[in-house]
Structures are given as structure tokens and as C-alpha cells.
A and B are shown apart, each in its own frame.
Chain A
């Protein structure tokens, strides 16, 4: 047994000794440094299709971009001017009528009026009576009627004495076909038919306003107003040529004046970097007659649309000159020809609803258009990226070439590096037919190497300056049109080395 225990103890010592010796690495576990994880992940980032229709559906109803029935895209600006009412057009003077007899005829102070619908008006009277007893004063204006009844008012008074009063003329139509008004009065004792004249009788119509005037109102000018439209589309454009092939400006006039009217442009000009260029449109300069409702259609409006296009003006040249704004000011002339035989009407609410619509169909040619913009950078969320290789695949159904370069700027605006070694072609223009419509999309692939050094400089940039050069198909030598079924497919993938 002694032999046994000796050997057993020996074995136990050896066995346990190995156990303790085995802990040499375990004991150093507090000196273990974590792994350095530097994976390289290849991931797709974008897979997007931008179609014009998608973009349009995201724009609000006041968008400047609209689609024509054939799908052609247009830049559209619309403005609605306040209407000019007829009340401000014509003011009616007071009409004093001293009565030298019980019947007196006077001419109406405004020529050419055939019918006056009295919206409001007062008939003031004054007289003296030397009689005694209660009397009735009867006042009559045969040309004034309401519902077929001629104007007649009876006022009771107790003579003798001096009397004055006011009668309301509102709601009466005044027939001025003879261009004269007849005022009548007489007094009679109550209960008799005896007619008496009064002393120092005096009528005066005051505060007269109309709700309708028929007749010839004479030649009158009205200001329709104007506006200035700022065009910031070309704000960032620093160079290049472009041609807008078929711009149009429509001036829409909804007129409720029932008289001949002409519209003139006092001013219609475009501001460009080279100065102000005037619109050359013969009609607007000299006055364009507009439609008006006939006497049989009182209360309705007639629409006139004045088109300014490449066929009747220099508008295409104007809008192709990198305009920064459009200014216009319009006026109208009533009865421009002074033809007194042309009888019309004016209502108290007559006026113009004036609308302006600038429509630029995207039927254009661009060449060497250069745009530039500085953007702030926020790349803190990308700090774990060590370097990356991007692959950009585009399938472009827009007739646009896009060449891009991005410069990394320091705080002083000095260029530190660039995204590409040279300007990179991001998009290749799709080919078009003779009508400017895209027939085949254009595919391109661009590899973007963001080396560790370049990525470091990008992350430490204060700003990034984007310089883009845009041209339409065939370097802008052929017209191209933009339709709503054009699209751009973009696929972007990144092979990024990370250092979390």
C-alpha cells in the first residue's frame, strides 16, 4: 500500500502541476487587446428610378411644371391680377334743378348715357308756401320708373311756411334716351283736385350711383396693373448657351364691360445680365381690341386670350437670354375709336379679370451650360469609412449630358482636392428623333475611387463645390423635348473599407 500511495501522490502532483501550469495564458487575460476589425463590405446603396411623372406627382398644385396633353413638359408661371371695377370708371355729378315752373326739363350732366340704373341717389327739394291749411306736394319724374311705374311721390305739409325734404331714388331706372330729364311738381289742398304752384321750388339730385349704365361712355383709359416675376432658374448658371424654342405668354382677359375696349402694354420687358430687353409685339404696343358682352348678354363675361409667341414676337430671344425677371404693366382704353354709335353697358361690378401665363415648353437646346453651387458638408456619420469605391450605373432616358466635378474646400474656400481626377460624365444624353423625342436611353457606368487620402480630405472639408456642365443631346445642336415618360434609373453600390 505504501508503494501505491507513493505512486498515487506522484501522479497527483504531476497532474495538478500541469493544471496550474496550464493557467499561464488565462492569468494574462487582463492584457488581451481587442481585435482590429477592418471589414470590407460591398453593398448596394441606391436603386432608384426617377421619372418625370413621379417628380411631378410630388410637386404641389402651385408647381411651375405642368404636363401638356401629349406629355410634353412645360415650365408654367401664372399670375392673376385684381379686377378693375366699373364704379371707379365713371362718377356721376350732382344735378341741381331750379323749378321756374311746375314742369322743368334739364339735360343729364353726362353725355351718351341712354339708361341709368340707379343704385342709390337722393332727390332733395325745398319750397315756400303762402297758403293756409294742410296740403299735398306731388313730385313726378316721368323718365324714372320702377317695375313699369313712373316715379311719383306725395308729401303732406301744413302751409304757410318754408319746407325742405329728401326723397330716395334707389332702384329706379332712368331712361335718358332723349338725353333730358323732366321734373314735375304741384301742390293741392287735402281732399281737392286744385293744383297750385309753390314759391322758390328747388330740386337737386345728389349722391347718385349706378348699377347699370347703357350708352356711350366716351374714350377712357384704365390701368390694369402689372407685376414683376423673378426667374431664379438661371441664378446658378455661370456660362453656356441655351435656346428655348417655343415659349409662350398668354394674357387672359375676362371682361364684363359691355363696351369696346383695347388693351395696351405700357411695359413688357425682360431683365438679363446684359440689360433690359423690351418685348417686340406689335399688337400689345398699339392696343389690342378685346371681346366684350353684347347688350343681350348683360352680366356675362367675354374672354380674350392674347398670345405672345415666337411667331408674333421676339419672346424666344427674350427667354433665351438668361433672363432674371419679367416685368409688365398693362392698361385698357374704353371706346378707343370714340364711335358714339357703339352703345354698350357698364355695370357697377363690371371689370377685368386679368391673368398672365408664361409657358415655356421644354423644347430646348443646351450647350456647355455650367452650374456651380457650394454645399455644406456633414460627414460625421461616415467616420467609420476608411475608403470606398463607388460604382454608379445610370440608364438615362433624358436627353441630357451631365458632367460633374466636386471640389473639396477648406474654411477659406481654397480647393483641397476633388472627387474625380477630372470632370466625370455622370449622365450620357439619350438619343432623339427629328422631333426632339427620345428614342433610346443611354447607359453609362462610372467608377468613383474614394481613396483613404481623398476620403480624409473630403471629411475635413468645410464645403464642397459642385460644378456641373449640362448639354442636351449632340451637345445642344439639335432641339430636344422633355416628356413626362422620360426616366432615369440610378444604381449605386459601394465597396467600403470600414474602421469602426
Chain B
């Protein structure tokens, strides 16, 4: 198992920058036996009266661009691989995202009383997000020779943050047809590092290739203090400090809302929205803004020919003088990645469930939609197995599997929405994994 764990870790580390993951708990959505499925729709109700979710962990990562296989191309006539950035460029979209998350569920308790269900949960979440335009990669790899006369938006986007979550949920079933559910979550922001403005435009002139970079960038930090930066020279004196406290003054709220419509015993539909909320970052906040325009129109030979050894340094200073750098300490707010689930489940047999799901995520002005199918089967009273398939961002090799072991009141679950990642990581576009243990009565 240790070796297996190392391989899992290796696959994860390799996959993080290379996989596509829609941040979807796809398989989990179709695992009614695991109380964690209620995280995807608070209107889901457990068959058990009491559910206790013991600590569990999940992680996932996505990259909407390319795979290891796209990056490493076999060399004809040998067993070697060549790093092929040109091929990578053919796989990139105009805007590419890299996301990651780690959720540690500490404890959740749910109680169902007839058609009512109440629950409370707590956990810690950490998310990472980066976005970069294809043009930025082309610019770095192929140069700006193909962009003469064009203005490129090359500003990347970024957010990394972590928070505690304390949730209180409730669901109600009305005449067996309708189920409504909601979860309100109190959030405690632990740390944040995010861009609130990321405009960067690069232009190559047509006359004799004059270069221009127009920037308006602001990044904000909370509990990650780099000191005051009011000029580019201050970057040399940075003294980053990071103190992770269990509690901070960063408060936030979020809500999950869901509905289930049971057409009959075999067919049901559900819709939900998850993490509709925000965090106000107020604790040890710094806002670093860099704005201005850098224009390089060539070297003034008259300056250089003066024999001034510092001429180039002065040139750089002159160019950078077009930028202003400011530091402020103003509170700011970030939105959570909001997920939308729309699904249907058909159970031709009591032990067999077939499902279809459309899932959408909206975050930092970008939307991602995935659609897929699921099938799960109870193999006796102890074991349930499921598989699912979905496609997102032109990624079609996403085959998931899940299992649920019921050993009396103790339920173990383990799932991944793309087991192909573990078979052919070089062609995988996302990875996720979740496992945990519940006690249900």
C-alpha cells in the first residue's frame, strides 16, 4: 500500500499541471449511500436516520490546456521523448486555467426525522487557481515575430486561498415528490493571495517593432504579508511573512441550495447550486498595485556612446519609470467558485441507478460546463460499485469509478472521477480522488 500511495502521489504531482478537471464531484453526486453526496445537493436525503461523516479527504486538479502526452512526443526510431512545446500550443485554448483543491472534511453529522433532515459539517478547504492566455505561452516560446501590429492580452489570473467552513444544513421532503434543501456556511478565511486586476497588454509596433506593455495589475494578500512596496526597488527588500492561524478576522458566508423532484420511484431530477458566497478579507491585508506603461523604442546610441557604463541600467530604470507601484491596506472580497448541478436519475432496478449530469462552474469570470453519465450497482448489501463518464473542455477520456463498502454501520467510500489518470497519466486531463469513512444508523 505504501508503494501504491507513492504512485498515487506521483500521479497527482505530475497531473496537477497537466490535467483537466472541472472541479466536479461527478461520481459523488451519484452516491446516495455516502452522506457526502449531499455536498453536491443539500436536498439529497439519506436513507439513514443518523449519519456521522468521519474525517475524509479529497483533492482534485485541473488544467484546461494539455497533457503530458501532448508535451512529450515520442521520437521516431527511438524510445526517447522530446519536449514539444509547439504541439502543446496546438492543444491550448485561448484562455487556459489551472485549478487545484484540497478538501479536508473534519466532521459532519446529519439527522433525518421523517421528511426532515438536519445536518452540520465542518472542514477546511484550500483552492488554487491560475489562468493564462495562450498568447502568453506563444509569446514566450515563439517570440513576438508573429504578433507584429497586434495587441495581446497577456495578463494571467491567479488565486490561492484557504478557509475553514462550518455548515448547517436542512432538507425537507414534501409528499415524496419534492425535496428542498439548503446549507448555510460560515467561512473563516485563513489566507489568500489573489489578483483583483490583471490587465496586461503587449504590443509590437509595425514601424520598427517598438514594444509596449500596458499593465494594470493588483494583487491582494491576507495573512501573507510582503511588506510595503512603493517602488520596484523595494522588491529587493521584500520580507515575506506568513502566519497561519486557526482563526482570523476574515469572515465569509456561503450557501448551497438544492431541489429534487421525484417523478416516480424510478425517475428523479435534481438541481442545485453550491458555494454561492464570498469571503471578506480583512486580516493583515495588503494590496499591491502595479500600473503604467512601459515603452521600449530602441536604444539611444547617443547615450550609450558616452561611455557611460551604467547606461543600460539607466535605460532599464527609464523604461520602468513608466510603472507606478503602490501598496495599500484595504479590505477586499473574493467570491467562491460556484457550482451548478442539474441531473436526472433513473433506477430501472432497485439496485441499479443510471444518471445523467450537467455540471457547471463559474469562477473569476469563467465558466466551465461538463456533461456526463453515471451507472452504479449495489452488489449485495455490502458493496456498491459505480462508473461514470463525462466530457468537459473537449476532454473525452474521463472515466470514473467509485465504490462504497458497508460494513454494518461503518461505510467506507473511495472514488475518482477519472481512473484513466492512473492508467495513462500522459493522456489524462484531470485527476481527483476522494475517500473517507462514515458511520450511519
Binding site for B on A (CB under 8 A): 3-4, 7-8, 11, 15-16, 18-23, 25-26, 28, 31-37, 39-50, 54, 58, 391, 393, 490-495, 497-498
Contact = CB atoms under 8 A, between A and B. Distances in A.
A43 B144 CA distance: 9
A46 B297 CA distance: 7
Contacts of B207: 393, 491, 493
For the complex of A and B, the 7 pairs showing the least CB-CB separation, nearest first, are A493-B208, A40-B145, A47-B298, A39-B143, A44-B298, A42-B209, A493-B209
Interface stretch (B178-186, B280-288, B423-431): B423-431
B81 A28 contact: yes
Most buried by A among B142, B209, B379, B403: B209
B7 A44 contact: no
Nearest to A8: B405
Interface in B97-133: none
A391 to B, nearest CB: 5
11 contacts: A15-B419, A18-B423, A20-B7, A22-B424, A35-B83, A37-B141, A40-B144, A40-B146, A41-B145, A44-B298, A46-B299
Contacts of A39: 140-143, 145
B421 interface: yes
Interface of B is mostly: mixed
A18 B422 contact: yes
Contacts of A54: 302
B312 interface: no
Interface stretch (B31-39, B72-80, B240-248, B261-269): B72-80
Nearest to A491: B208
Interface string B190-213: 000000000000001101111100
A25 B426 contact: yes
B68 A47 contact: no
Contacts of B141: 37, 39
A3 B380 contact: yes
Contacts of A18: 419, 422-423
B8 interface: yes
B349 interface: no
A495 B405 contact: no
Contacts of B405: 4, 8
B175 interface: no
Contact of B297 (A31, A35, A44, A58): A44
A191 B75 CA distance: 136
Contacts of B144: 40-42
Nearest to B428: A22
A493 B10 CA distance: 47
B219 interface: no
B145 A35 contact: no
Contact of A23 (B10, B81, B145): B10
B419 A48 contact: no
B143 A33 contact: no
B300 interface: yes
B85 interface: yes
Nearest to A50: B302
B298 A45 contact: yes
Interface in B1-50: 4, 7-8, 10-11, 14
Contacts of B385: 11
A25 B422 contact: no
Given A22-B11, A31-B80, A35-B82, A46 B142 contact: no
B403 to A, nearest CB: 6
Given A44-B210, A48-B302, 19 more contacts: A4-B382, A8-B405, A18-B419, A18-B423, A20-B7, A33-B75, A34-B83, A35-B83, A35-B84, A35-B85, A41-B143, A42-B143, A42-B145, A44-B209, A45-B298, A48-B299, A491-B298, A495-B145, A498-B143
B254 to A, nearest CB: 34
A15 B382 CA distance: 19
A44 B297 CA distance: 6
Q: Which of A19, A25, A32, A43 has the most CB of B within 10 A?
A: A19
A497 B211 CA distance: 17
B423 A44 contact: no
Contacts of B79: 28, 31
Contacts of A20: 7
Interface string B141-154: 11111111000000
A25 B11 CA distance: 11
Contact of A32 (B8, B80, B143, B403): B80
A168 B423 CA distance: 125
A32 B81 contact: yes
Given A22-B11, A39-B143, A48 B300 contact: yes
Contacts of B11: 19, 22
B7 A23 contact: yes
Contacts of B146: 40
Contact of A19 (B8, B72, B80): B8
Contacts of A7: 379, 383
A33 B297 contact: no
B146 to A, nearest CB: 7
A12 to B, nearest CB: 9
A50 B305 CA distance: 12
B7 A19 contact: yes
Contacts of B424: 22
Contact of A22 (B140, B145, B422): B422
Interface in B229-249: none
B332 interface: no
Contact of B208 (A31, A33, A49, A492): A492
A158 B10 CA distance: 133
B71 to A, nearest CB: 9
A22 B302 contact: no
B296 interface: yes
A43 B211 contact: yes
B80 A4 contact: no
A282 B293 CA distance: 69
A204 B322 CA distance: 92
Nearest to B210: A44
Contact of A42 (B69, B148, B301, B302): B148
Nearest to A44: B298
B82 A47 contact: no
Contacts of A42: 143-145, 147-148, 204, 209
Nearest to B83: A35
Contacts of B298: 44-48, 491-493
Nearest to B11: A22
A45 to B, nearest CB: 5
Contacts of A47: 208, 210, 297-300
Contact of A11 (B10, B84, B209, B403): B403
Contacts of B296: 43-44
B212 to A, nearest CB: 10
A132 to B, nearest CB: 91
B225 to A, nearest CB: 37
| Residue picked from A54, A391, A491, A493, most chain B C-beta under 10 Å | A493
A22 B421 contact: yes
A44 B208 contact: yes
Interface in B351-400: 379-380, 382-383, 385
| Most chain B CB atoms below 10 A, which of A4, A43, A495 | A43
A51 to B, nearest CB: 9
Contacts of B85: 35, 37
Given A4-B382, A43-B209, A32 B83 contact: yes
A4 to B, nearest CB: 5
A313 B210 CA distance: 54
Contact of B425 (A15, A22, A492): A22
Contact of B142 (A3, A40, A50, A494): A40
